[in-house]
Amino acid sequence: MNPSIHGKLERIAERCEEITALLADPQIQGDSGRFRALGQEFAQIEPVTDCFRRYCALEEDTREAEEMLADPELAELARDELARIRSRREALEPQLEQLLIPPDPDDRRNIYLEIRAGTGGAEAALFAGDLHRLYLRYAELQGWRVETLSESQGEHGGYKEIICRISGQGVYARLKFESGTHRVQRVPETEAQGRVHTSACTLAILPEIEEIDAIPILPAELRIDTYRASGAGGQHINKTDSAIRITHLPSGIVVECQDERSQHKNRARAMSLLQSRLLAQARAEQSSEQARARKLQVGSGDRSERIRTYNFPQNRLTDHRINLTLYQLDDILQGHLDPVVEPLIREHETEQLALLAQADA
């Protein structure tokens, strides 16, 4: 284990003992505010401390087994014991490292998924449809719920733009690294000479915002338009102006929702989406000087700006941020996205641990 990480764990364990003593102090117990704050801190660091104590016990067992190696009669038993102890330590180390990483407060949130066709015309719109189906299938495999908020279909299929809300356990935690420009290389059905064309789509993952994070919006800053939602017709055809379009005048952001038959529900959904976009814009402005955040930006939709390439002729998917290449594109497009998602999460955790080690160096 990295010595600086080990030192940090020792300090956390010391702090846990200190808090335990403070929580038993009658004077602290009489101060409800401080008692509550200490209780919350204890709840955060106690799992780390408990795991670290088990790790330290294994370190002590290692030292004892190594001393036994000097005794010829116990050497074989000691070697077996060392192998068992090292196996348990190796299993605990990644658990400890994961517990050390500061939790992302957005990880537990639902998301808005926005897919927009970029460079490539009709082929880009078709690819946007492919991406939409990919995330729908992944959501289904994860047991998540998907609601379409608005869509603009392409002339030859697919979507110029589609916005969905995905809700469920750990949605943002799994999909937060999907934002960016996704590039596709394939032979379009209309290509007579079999040439490979390159197109692109932009994809944004926005955490759904709770009231505590809400950015104040004055009614005078909004222009709200109602219109008749498009539908398939029949007995349930929408005969009222239930669809909502909200324009936030200071920022120029426009959001629409036509999924619900109720104008009130559409308005509530549109306002929630507006809040998410405003917060995302504010966060982007704050982090604009941080080069590390570049990998998470959506980009312009140009073919040259990409986080990932989907090469259909070679059945290949490449994530350019972590140099990941997989020759199972057909399987991934069926919603089996974990082989792509999990390496991105591990890379992020490695970066976080490196920052922790640097901070304590």
What DSSP character marks residue 233? Answer: -
Residue range 336-354: average pLDDT? 90
The pLDDT score that the predictor gives to residue 231 is 53
**Its pTM surpasses 0.95:** no
For residues 233 and 107, the model is more confident at: 107
Asked if pLDDT for residue 292 goes beyond 50, the answer is no
User: 155-164, 169-178, 246-255, 294-303: which has the minimum mean pLDDT?
Assistant: 294-303
| pLDDT tens-digit readout, 233-257 | 444 444 567 889 999 998 899 999 8
Give the pLDDT band of residue 215 (cuts 50, 70, 90). Answer: confident
| pLDDT tens-digit readout, 319-340 | 999 999 999 999 999 999 999 9
Q: Taking Cα atoms as reference points, which of 131, 268, 302 lies closest to residue 205?
A: 131
The pLDDT score that the predictor gives to residue 246 is 92
Asked if pLDDT for residue 178 goes beyond 80, the answer is yes
Percentages helix, strand, coil for the chain (3-state, rounded to 5) are: 50, 20, 30
The pLDDT score that the predictor gives to residue 360 is 60
DSSP E strands: which ranges in the chain? 111-117, 145-153, 159-167, 180-186, 197-207, 222-227, 243-248, 253-257, 308-311, 316-319, 324-326
CA dihedral 185, 153, 336, 299 (to 10 degrees): 60
Phi-psi region at 52: left, alpha or beta (left = phi > 0; alpha = psi -120 to 50)? alpha
Give the pLDDT band of residue 286 (cuts 50, 70, 90). Answer: low
The pLDDT score that the predictor gives to residue 254 is 92
Residue range 64-82: average pLDDT? 88
Mean pLDDT of all residues belonging to the chain: 85
Residues 280, 215: contact at Cβ < 8 Å? no
Asked if pLDDT for residue 190 goes beyond 80, the answer is no
Give the pLDDT band of residue 208 (cuts 50, 70, 90). Answer: confident
CA–CA dist 135, 121 (Å, integer) = 22
Residue range 268-277: average pLDDT? 88
Percent of the chain exceeding pLDDT 90 equals 45
The pLDDT score that the predictor gives to residue 326 is 97
